[in-house]
Amino acid sequence: MVSLDIAFAIVPGLILFLYGIDNFSKEIERIAGEKFRTLLTKVTKTRVGGAFLGALVTATIQSSTATTVIVVGLVGAGVIPFIQSISIIIGANVGTTITGQLVALKLTAFAPFFILLGFLLSIFGRKYKFLGKPLFYFGLVFFGLTLISQAIEPIKDDPSIVEIFSQLSNIFLAILAGFLFTVVMQSSSVTTGIVVLLVGGGLLTLEQGIPLIMGANIGTTSTSLFAAWNMDLFARRAAMAHFLFNVGGVIIFLPLLPLFSDVVVNFGGSAAQQMANAHTLFNVIIAVIFLIVLRPFTNLVEKLVPGTEREIVFKTKYLNAHLPKSNQKAFSLIEKELQHSLDVTLEMFKHSMLMLKDGNGKLLRKVSKLESFNDFLDDKISGALIEMSPRELNKKEAEKTLLLVRISNATEQLGDTAKNLAFLGETMKESTLHFSHNSLVDLEKVYDQFEKNLSLISKYTPVITDKEREQLRKNDVVLRELITAQYKDHMKMLCSKETYAGTSFVDALSLIESANAKIREIRKLSEEYARL
């Protein structure tokens, strides 16, 4: 069996490998993480472009897990749509094969050089100092593999070790071993690097190594599945797509393993190089297959992770990168985007009211996401108006620009109130408070009138006719009278102790009253806008 001396040589090597690859990934993300995110958000519309980008990012940060978790997070945040995320995830699997290729090319021999260079740059690098830590950790990754390689050299002829590894001739056992090891290590790169070493050292055959990396491909999906557990529907779909893609690849290749092994051997090279080539070829072929069937694959994911939730992608509906040269057309687009922003605000209030009633945590996340989207739209509208300001504007156009800025800001503040209403529901849930039946009925009466006002302002802003203005004013009067009456009635109920969560009821009324004041402000600004 393995002596303690050998075990103590293997374990530190594995620790250094894990520590190095984790910190290398973090350093690269720290240096260029925002640039990667920007690239991912600007991913080309073609599926091949998305796959190429996913491969490039993963090859750079040496972690398909990091890339996939970033992508799932961006889908959850609404930065990129679910459909675009799949091609990036597919490409990430190809990018992760670079680790095995580097090990097969015996880059481990240069580990001390990278460690020393990284150390010196960290101290004396001046403008290149930022490269010090990434290079140091890059060297540490391969230094750890060097220790493992040296440690297994004396045991490759040990009969007991040979017997243990011979058990991996069972394809399904090998896949399970690769899966479990990757789940524990949270890195398929670790599994791949070690498998390439073991095949190169003669402890494993190519036929035994291929199922191990197949299992590693499945195991690496555990992180994204866990990360998406509490995210929205589309983030969960992205994580499921990652899982199904890797499982599907294994299922496709299982009956072809003998043929695939022969093809890899015909490419030539050392045993380690053949193992690395098998990993690369496997992932490239699967990526090509799934890119070809991307649409039906997407439909399958949507059926397996069902839901009617509307996907929120941080993208303007009417405003593009540049405004039309015509001022009239530009104002028209900005007006439509304002209405879009108010529609989003209306959706926020609907979810917030539901949150008050049942305290569903998913609704709070939905409201928070919509509020961020509202902020995004306000920024885009303000940016468009700033873009217009250097133009030759007449007096009316200049006044319209200022009014649109104020309407957009008021809409954004209205969204903040909707979020506060949802947080009130969360506070009540945490405090195990609830409204009495009568209080809830009264609150719904107030909210229904408020929603009517918000729907009208969303429909008419920013150009309100006399008829529409009169209708909005009448509704506003009705709502203010209703709120005043509810305050009085509720104070009586509080004195008679016939209600629950009395303070929360007053807080909810106050928030709706504040929101209606913002609607009144938007209405008055829109009236001024209509007169121009």
Show the tokens assigned to 147.
Answer: 């220790």
Q: Is the pLDDT higher at 368 or at 22? A: 368
* pLDDT tens-digit series, residues 85-126: 888 888 888 888 877 777 776 666 677 888 888 888 888 777
Q: Is the peptide bond before 462 cis (omega within 30 degrees of 0)?
A: yes
Q: Does residue 311 fall inside a structural domain?
A: no
Q: Which residue range is the domain that position 439 belongs to?
A: 327-531
3 state DSSP class of 423: helix
Q: Do 27 and 73 belong to one domain? A: yes
User: Of 38-42, 284-288, 332-336, 404-408, which range is least confident?
Assistant: 38-42
Examine the pLDDT at 358 and tell me if it is beyond 50. Answer: yes
* pLDDT tens-digit series, residues 19-48: 776 676 566 656 655 565 566 666 656 777
Q: Does residue 412 fall inside a structural domain?
A: yes
Q: Does residue 352 fall inside a structural domain?
A: yes
DSSP state of 456: H
Show the tokens assigned to 392.
Answer: 């030759």
- Say if residues 472 and 502 touch (Cβ distance below 8 Å): no
Q: Do 392 and 288 belong to one domain? A: no
pLDDT bin (cut points 50, 70, 90) of residue 413 is: very high
User: What's the pLDDT at 495?
Assistant: 61
Q: Does residue 315 fall inside a structural domain?
A: no
Q: Do 526 and 419 belong to one domain? A: yes
User: What's the pLDDT at 139?
Assistant: 79
Dihedral, CA of residue 405, residue 410, residue 412 and residue 416, to nearest 10: 160
Q: Do 227 and 167 belong to one domain? A: yes
Cα 398 from Cα 40, distance rounded (Å): 37
Cα 412 from Cα 423, distance rounded (Å): 17
Contacts of 202 (CB under 8 A, 6+ apart): 156, 271
Q: What is the pTM of this model?
A: 0.72
Examine the pLDDT at 1 and tell me if it is beyond 50. Answer: no
What value does the mean pLDDT take over residues 126-151? 75
Distances 112 to 27, 140, 200 between C-alpha atoms, Å: 19, 8, 21
Q: Do 425 and 505 belong to one domain? A: yes
Chain centroid offset of residue 95 CA: 19
* pLDDT tens-digit series, residues 199-219: 887 778 888 888 988 998 898
* pLDDT tens-digit series, residues 51-85: 888 888 777 766 677 777 777 777 877 777 888 88
Q: Do 262 and 409 belong to one domain? A: no
Counting Cβ atoms within 10 Å, is residue 413 exposed (0-12), middle (13-18) or buried (19+)? middle
What value does the mean pLDDT take over residues 175-194? 80
Cα 367 from Cα 168, distance rounded (Å): 50
Q: Do 214 and 331 belong to one domain? A: no
- Say if residues 39 and 57 touch (Cβ distance below 8 Å): yes
**Which domain-ending residue is among 304, 339, 373?**
304
**Which domain-ending residue is among 242, 269, 304?**
304
Q: Does residue 349 fall inside a structural domain?
A: yes
Examine the pLDDT at 501 and tell me if it is beyond 60. Answer: no
DSSP state of 200: H
DSSP state of 311: P
Candidates 355, 377, 380; CA nearest to 366 is 355
Q: Does residue 149 fall inside a structural domain?
A: yes
Q: Do 283 and 334 belong to one domain? A: no
521: domain CATH number is 1.20.58.220
Q: Do 281 and 353 belong to one domain? A: no
What value does the mean pLDDT take over residues 509-526? 89
Q: Does residue 298 fall inside a structural domain?
A: yes
Please name the residue that has the structure tokens 């200022």: 402
Strands (E), 171-255: none
Angle in degrees, CA 278, 283, 286, rounded to 5 = 120
Phi, psi of 43 (to 5 degrees): -55, 140
- Say if residues 523 and 469 touch (Cβ distance below 8 Å): yes
User: What's the pLDDT at 494?
Assistant: 62
* pLDDT tens-digit series, residues 415-428: 999 998 888 888 88
H helix and E strand count, the chain? 22, 0
The distance in angstroms from the start CA to the end CA of the chain is 89
Q: Do 293 and 386 belong to one domain? A: no
Q: Does residue 312 fall inside a structural domain?
A: no
* Cβ count within 10 A of residue 38: 11
Cα 137 from Cα 25, distance rounded (Å): 9
User: What's the pLDDT at 338?
Assistant: 92
User: What's the pLDDT at 43?
Assistant: 61
Q: Do 283 and 407 belong to one domain? A: no
Q: How many structural domains are present in the chain?
A: 2
pLDDT bin (cut points 50, 70, 90) of residue 234 is: confident
User: What's the pLDDT at 391?
Assistant: 83
Q: Do 241 and 348 belong to one domain? A: no
